[in-house]
Amino acid sequence: MKFLLFLLLFLPHVLSAQEVLKKEGLQKMIQPKVSYESGYLSEAGLEGHGGGVSVAKNTLGINNEIVGFSYTNWAFMWNDLANLPFGDGVHSPLEQMHGFKINANIPFFISDKWFVLTSLSAKSTFEKETDNSYGIGLFGFASYKIDEEHAIQFGAFANYHPVSSLALPAISYSYRARQTDGFKFILGFPRTYVGYHVNEETLIRFGVVFSQSVIRLSQTSTLEKSGYVEAEDYMSNLGVSYDFHENLSLKSDLLYSVKRDFAVYDKDANKLSSYSIKPSFGVNFKIRYLF
């Protein structure tokens, strides 16, 4: 809480000192918005094994450009339990998963050309019990504006969890990223994004994003009692966004899970096994209201 208070008090002075953002820009940054997102991935089998799973995901979030909070629920529907390479062959190895996340963004304009953003997050992802479910995320990059349409970004992102941590470089090249007319794109890792504005309100877009998380399993889990699952995936989307007016927008997407891997750990963080889930299609909808 002290950090958030410090951020809210300190950021306006930084922006003023840099004389980059005017009062209207700051007001837009702190303007709150609430969003609800719902998605579904169709059934997919496990590579080299029997059984399969489909996934439903729902997220409720409230945030502005500086701080945010979200809750996510995943529901797993398994089939052919007897042929799964894990579990007891009778009960679903994982039915529900919950995730809470708090994040803060720290933007800093060095000059008209250089911009630095640091994003910090604290999260808990678990099946039932929250003990030892907490992790920290860090994403930081510097952006250099070549001209009014072109920019390059480079930095790194990391997820820390006592069971398994990840640190990878982040690099991208962007073209007209914040424009609301015509063609725009961001090419890089961990995210690639291509969009085209049919008009100011309607955007057609395609993207691929990488994500990683560690889930704390329950004390009665048939997958691994009080253990953990580390999940990594590459998800692609093709969809359209429509702004009804400046405060309300809707996004709809077709999804394709390019690659999904997960590893199982025991309660002492020892890796026991790993698996891959075959690609599958899905859908996703998101509605956002800006206050």
pLDDT at 227: 96
pLDDT at 178: 85
Grade residue 221 by pLDDT with cuts at 50, 70 and 90: very high
Can you say whether the dihedral through the CA atoms of 265, 270, 275, 280 is positive or negative?
positive
pLDDT at 6: 40
Contact 86, 223 (CB under 8 A): yes
pLDDT at 24: 58
What's the CA gap between 154 and 208, in Å, rounded?
A: 18
- Assess whether pLDDT exceeds 90 at residue 214: yes
- pTM of the full structure: 0.86
Q: Give percent of the chain above pLDDT 70.
A: 91
Report in angstroms the alpha-carbon separations of 63 from 59, 60, 69, 233, 234: 13, 10, 6, 25, 25
- Assess whether pLDDT exceeds 90 at residue 271: yes
pLDDT (tens digit, 9 = 90+) per residue, 107-116? 999 999 999 9
pLDDT (tens digit, 9 = 90+) per residue, 3-46? 444 444 444 444 444 454 455 566 777 889 999 999 999 999 99
pLDDT (tens digit, 9 = 90+) per residue, 169-212? 999 999 999 888 999 999 999 999 999 999 999 999 999 999 99
Q: Go through the chain and tell me how many residues it has.
A: 291
Domain housing 187? 2-290
Q: List the beta bridge partners of residue 194.
A: 185, 206
27: which 2 tokens?
Answer: 């007001």
Cβ neighbours of residue 36 closer than 8 Å, sequence gap 6 or more? 58, 59, 60, 61, 286, 287
- Counting the structural domains of the chain, the total is 1
Mean pLDDT of the chain: 90
- Assess whether pLDDT exceeds 60 at residue 165: yes
Neighbours of 74 (CB within 10 A): 20
Residue given tokens 């809480």 in the structure block: 1
